[in-house]
Structure 1
Amino acid sequence: MLPDKLREIIDWLSDGARSAPTPSRMMAECCERLVAAGLPLYRVGIFIRTLHPEIFGRNFIWRPETGVVLSSVDFDIQEAPEFLSSPLALVFREGVEVRSRLHEPSTTPFPFFDDMRAEGVTDYIAIPLTFVDNMLHASSWTTKQPGGFTEEQLAALKTVLPTLARLIEVIGIRRVTVTLLDTYVGNRAGGRILGGQIRRGHTETMRAAIWLSDLRGFTALSDRLPPESVVEILNRYFDCQVPAILKHGGEVLKFMGDGLLAVFPIAEDDADRSTVCGHALEATREASAAVEALRWSDAAGAEERFRFGLALHVGKVLYGNIGGGNRLDFTCIGPAVNLAARLEKIAGKLHRTVVASATFADATTTDWTDLGEFPIAGFAKAERVYGLADEGATPES
């Protein structure tokens, strides 16, 4: 090993690996630098647990010929036989190093080692990466060097690891922050908060197609079923809408009990209004079909079917931080949001699933049925309301 090169790597990591703009590039460049310093690496794995509602962790696997391959695993991995019979399971469970000289016949019989031997690997070591909160993560290092790693090479590797772990932790904290913001307030709001828009009253005006939906009969449902069942139903009900909204360029801003508020941003000059409203309408049809197909059965076998109401409108909304003291909410308000809420109530009275304002209906090429003009509480003038031409009134539940 070259001591000067090793010192350069540690300094580079300590300075934030600024020449590598992404985690994958940082990992690749770090391995390349270690090889240049004299460490004969063949395959390197970094395994990081994460704080995400669906993802248990991420794997960064580096090889000289392929660079870094990134993958993620869900929570089922904890019970998967291939993981439980792997050396990494031991690292995560006990926080210990696992070293195996694969060219020696007495190697610990992990099935994974057979694959490594087939690739010509002679030595394997898995080393815990411990973050400041004592959460365990893991790294694995292999070589094809005859005889395996030397003690000098392993000592050099372990000299670099603490600094590498700190940088991975910093990158991980930022990723977790972004993930949590995206999960709880949405991508657009999360980006603004992370960008520094954190003060009360820090708002901006945005033109958008507004989506406001509500589950019909939710109060009676909540009274009739156990709370655990209601939560499960709500999650499945929102699963009918959220993927469609995200797929077509919308952003979910808020869940309000059984209500959902989303926006589809429109350019300030209104040039893409027709396109955006068309995307919102595509999401509407997909969500409506999904809710229509949703079924839920209780312990006695009684089947529940569901209906929802959805109002679509276009207008300017005030988008930003609203709240009291140090408890803020990043959301949108304004007359356009209020009108959408009133329209959703009208949808219920007319036994319609989808209704739209004249502003939204005029922006699309879809056939609409004029449902009439209705006075809107809190608004000076009545609003003409439209329903989808291919949708009739639904019977009351």
Structure 2
Amino acid sequence: METSELQRVINWLIDGAWSSKSPAEMTAEACERMVVAGLPLWRFGIFIRTLHPEIFGRNFIWREGEEVEIGTVDFEILQTPQFAKSPLRIVFEQGLEVRGRMDDPASRDFPFLDDMRAEGVTDYVATPMQFLDGSVHATSWTTRHPDGFSDDHIAAIHAIVTPLARISEIITLRRTAEMLLDTYVGNQAGARILGGQIRRGHNDTMQAAIWLSDMRGFTALSDRLPAETVVDILNHYFDCQVTAIRGHGGEVLKFMGDGLLAVFPIDEYVGDAAHVCARVLEAARESRTSVEALAFPVGDVVERFRFGVALHVGNILYGNIGGGNRLDFTCIGPAVNLAARLEKITGRLGRTVVASEGFANVCRHDWHELGEFPIAGFSKAQRVYGLREETPAVMA
């Protein structure tokens, strides 16, 4: 090992690896620098556990002469035979280093090392990488060098792991913040918050298509079913909408009991209102199909569901609202208020989808005029439209 070159790698990591613009680039550049320093790497892996409701962790795999592979694994991996016999399980669960020289019969205990052996690997090391909060992550190092890793190579790996842990923790913390904000307030709101829009009164005016929906008969459902069952039903019910909303460019801002508020931003400079509203309508149709197909068994009964969604388009105030140091990043304004009032009309008319006159004028479609309705808080009655393809449900 070239000591001065190794120190340059360590200093580069300590300085923040500024020459790399992404975790994948950082992984590749770090490995290439280590090879120049004399570490005979053929494959390197870094495995980061995440704070995410569905994803157990992310991995970045570098191989000599190839692009870095980026992958994610869900929590189900913990129950698989592959993980049970993986060297990484020992690293994660016990915080211990695992060495697997291919000429050592003990390496046969790990099926993964058989795969590495078939690719010409001679030595393997998996090391714990501890963050400041005590959480244990992992790195893996393999070589095809005929003699495997020398003592100097192992010492170099140990010297690199600590600064690698610090820069990895910084990257992970920022990504965790982004994921949590995305999960709890939405992608665009999260980006604005991370960008510094965190004070009460920080807000923008934005033109958007507005989606406001709720489930029919939710109060009665909540009264006759256990709370745990109701929560499970709500999660499945919201899945029917969120997938469609996000798939068509919308952002879910808020869940309110059985209600859902989402916005689809319109770029006033591009003039894409008609395109955005068409995607909103398509999301509403997809959600309608998914909710109609949702069947939830409760004992001997299969519960079926209906919902209503109001679509409107207008200007909203989008930003921080709240009291003291407890803020909510949300949207308000007359356009949101009108959408909320229109949503109540879906139930009265037995409709799944209703649209304001503004939305119907922007989204050219075979709309059916349902009439004019007085709206609480608005001086003028509002003309409401429904989908001609829909047959109104008979209201009990």
**TM-score, length-scaled by structure 2:** 0.98
TM-superposition CA deviations, 1:337-367 (whole Å, max 9, x none):
0000000111111111110001000112210
Aligned to 2:89: 89
d(CA) in 2 for partners of 1:3, 1:269 = 56
Q: Which amino acid aligns with 1:245?
A: I
Between stretches 172-181 and 264-273, larger displacement belongs to 264-273
What is the Cα deviation at residue 67 of structure 1? 2.8
What is the Cα deviation at residue 156 of structure 1? 1.3
Answer yes or no: is the 8 Å Cα contact 2:204–2:317 preserved in 1: yes
What is the Cα deviation at residue 226 of structure 1? 0.2
What is the Cα deviation at residue 100 of structure 1? 1.6
Aligned to 1:361: 360
Structure 1 unaligned runs (5+)? none
Any residues of structure 2 matched to 1:304-343 within 5 Å, and which? Answer: 304-343=303-342
d(CA) in 1 for partners of 2:325, 2:115 = 54
Q: CA RMSD in A?
A: 1.0
Any residues of structure 2 matched to 1:288-299 within 5 Å, and which? Answer: 288-299=288-299
d(CA) in 2 for partners of 1:59, 1:78 = 15
Aligned to 1:78: 78
Q: Does 1:27 align with 2:27?
A: yes
d(CA) in 2 for partners of 1:324, 1:127 = 47
What is the Cα deviation at residue 270 of structure 1? 7.3
Aligned to 1:391: 390
Q: Does 1:48 align with 2:66?
A: no
Aligned to 2:59: 59
d(CA) in 1 for partners of 2:184, 2:143 = 43
Q: Does 1:124 align with 2:118?
A: no
d(CA) in 1 for partners of 2:277, 2:106 = 66
Aligned to 1:215: 215
What is the Cα deviation at residue 160 of structure 1? 1.3
Answer yes or no: is the 8 Å Cα contact 2:85–2:109 preserved in 1: no
d(CA) in 1 for partners of 2:273, 2:148 = 63
What is the Cα deviation at residue 141 of structure 1? 0.5
Answer yes or no: is the 8 Å Cα contact 2:314–2:335 preserved in 1: yes
d(CA) in 2 for partners of 1:104, 1:369 = 76
Q: Does 1:191 align with 2:186?
A: no
d(CA) in 2 for partners of 1:349, 1:372 = 13
What is the Cα deviation at residue 107 of structure 1? 3.3
Aligned to 2:137: 137
Answer yes or no: is the 8 Å Cα contact 1:103–1:147 preserved in 2: no
What is the Cα deviation at residue 53 of structure 1? 1.1
d(CA) in 1 for partners of 2:388, 2:122 = 70
d(CA) in 2 for partners of 1:367, 1:74 = 43
Answer yes or no: is the 8 Å Cα contact 2:252–2:260 preserved in 1: yes
d(CA) in 1 for partners of 2:261, 2:304 = 22
Aligned to 2:243: 243
d(CA) in 2 for partners of 1:386, 1:107 = 69
d(CA) in 1 for partners of 2:291, 2:343 = 16
Aligned to 1:283: 283
What is the Cα deviation at residue 15 of structure 1? 1.0
d(CA) in 2 for partners of 1:82, 1:228 = 33
Answer yes or no: is the 8 Å Cα contact 2:108–2:114 preserved in 1: no
TM-superposition CA deviations, 1:104-128 (whole Å, max 9, x none):
3453521111111111111111100
TM-superposition CA deviations, 1:144-172 (whole Å, max 9, x none):
11121110111111111100011001100
d(CA) in 1 for partners of 2:395, 2:383 = 23
d(CA) in 2 for partners of 1:92, 1:156 = 22
d(CA) in 2 for partners of 1:309, 1:46 = 46
d(CA) in 1 for partners of 2:131, 2:59 = 17
What is the Cα deviation at residue 4 of structure 1? 1.0
Q: Which amino acid aligns with 1:38?
A: G
Answer yes or no: is the 8 Å Cα contact 1:254–1:261 preserved in 2: yes
Answer yes or no: is the 8 Å Cα contact 1:49–1:137 preserved in 2: yes
Size of the aligned set, in residue pairs, is 396
TM-superposition CA deviations, 1:286-305 (whole Å, max 9, x none):
00000111111112x11111
d(CA) in 1 for partners of 2:328, 2:385 = 32
Q: Does 1:344 align with 2:343?
A: yes
d(CA) in 2 for partners of 1:131, 1:267 = 42
Aligned to 1:228: 228
d(CA) in 2 for partners of 1:270, 1:48 = 40
Q: Which amino acid aligns with 1:376?
A: I
Aligned to 1:267: 267
TM-superposition CA deviations, 1:233-288 (whole Å, max 9, x none):
00000000001001111110100000000011112257111111001001010000
